[in-house]
Chains A and B, each alone.
Chain A
Amino acid sequence: MSDEFDKFRKGLHQALSTSPSELHIDKWTRAVQKEHGSMKRRRFAPLWIQIGAMAAMLVMGIFIGTRVTQDGSSPTVAPLENGNDPYATIERIYAKSE
């Protein structure tokens, strides 16, 4: 039964064979390579977005971490107690000497 179908298929295959000049393999290959290239770009784009976002967050963190207010104190460091403030101590020493 299977042999009969195989013969039938083979007969059809031979009767409807295509000449090599009809096959535009180079054109199809170019189209496939182009699509493959664009698919790769599309797949890697989110990775670059992730790297960019991480770099932006790092720069932002460094900026906030090193930022100082106008009076010289860091907003990220707890304010000094009055007793431990070196500037206040120097002012007291000057006041005594005067």
Chain B
Amino acid sequence: MSIDWNSTVRQIGPRLYRYFNVPFSPEVADDLTQETLIRLVRKVEAGILDPEKGSLDMFAFGIAYYVKLENMARMRRWNKVEAVLTHEGSNISLQPDAHLEDKERAEYLRKAIAQLSQAQQDVVLLGLDEELTMDQMAAILELPLNTIKSHLRRAKETLAQLLSAQVKELEL
């Protein structure tokens, strides 16, 4: 079975970018989207993933989940290095350039999502993609469907609290 990779990139690329753009900066999200697409090509061409046995976008999000975890671990290591360099009085800044967001509301929401537990974040990030069903999300995260629903419910409640607190802060 041959895959039209151009249309696959057009279809899945923006969805992957949106997934990565919440926890990471736009530059990192861009790199991770490309990395996920390349890994998808490798796995499909090597016959590891058979598109006839499951949807390609589900495979893509399964890969994206691991790419995100890898990058978070890498960032934690970098933060440790940065802490050491800062402690030693170095002027080297390892933080990416601050990205100016036009949409303040989106920025508040991103910050609020970052405060969720890891499991709730995973569910919310996959839930951002409207084309993924709850069953597919459960398969990607290897969790029961009811667990996904309860994580989503708690995430919704926590986000509502966090966002209302932010609104109150702004009003003061």
A residues in contact (CB < 8 Å) with B: 1-2, 5-6, 8-10, 12-13, 15-18, 22-25, 27-29, 31-33, 35-36, 39-40, 43
The residue that A28 contacts in the complex, of B9, B42, B110, with Cβ under 8 A, is B9
Residue interface mask B118-150, A partner, CB < 8 A = 1: 000000100111100010000000000000010
Q: Are A29 and B42 in contact (CB under 8 A)?
A: no
- What A residues does B37 contact at CB under 8 A? 28, 31-32
Known: A1-B149, A16-B109. A25 touches B13 (CB 8 A): yes
With A2-B134, A29-B6 given, is the CB distance from A23 to B110 under 8 Å? no
The 21 listed contacts between A and B (C-beta, < 8 Å) are: A1-B149, A5-B156, A8-B152, A12-B124, A13-B18, A16-B21, A16-B106, A18-B17, A18-B18, A22-B26, A22-B30, A25-B9, A25-B10, A29-B6, A31-B34, A32-B37, A32-B38, A33-B5, A33-B6, A36-B41, A39-B45
- Which of B38, B124, B134, B149: most chain A Cβ within 10 A? B38
Given A23-B14, A39-B45, A43-B45, are A28 and B34 neighbors across the interface (CB < 8 Å)?
yes
Q: Which residues of A contact B46 (CB under 8 A)?
A: 39
A-side contacts of B128, CB under 8 Å? 9, 12-13, 16
The secondary structure that dominates the B interface is helix
When A and B form their complex, what is the total count of cross-chain residue pairs whose Cβ atoms lie within 8 Å? 88
- The answer to whether A29 and B14 have CB atoms under 8 Å apart is no
Residue of B nearest to A8 (CB): B156
Query: Interface on B for A, CB 8 Å cutoff?
Result: 5-6, 8-10, 13-14, 17-18, 21-22, 26, 30, 33-34, 37-38, 41-42, 45-46, 105-106, 109-110, 124, 127-130, 134, 149, 152-153, 156
A45 to chain B, nearest CB (A): 13
* B6 / chain A contacts, CB cutoff of 8 Å: 29, 32-33
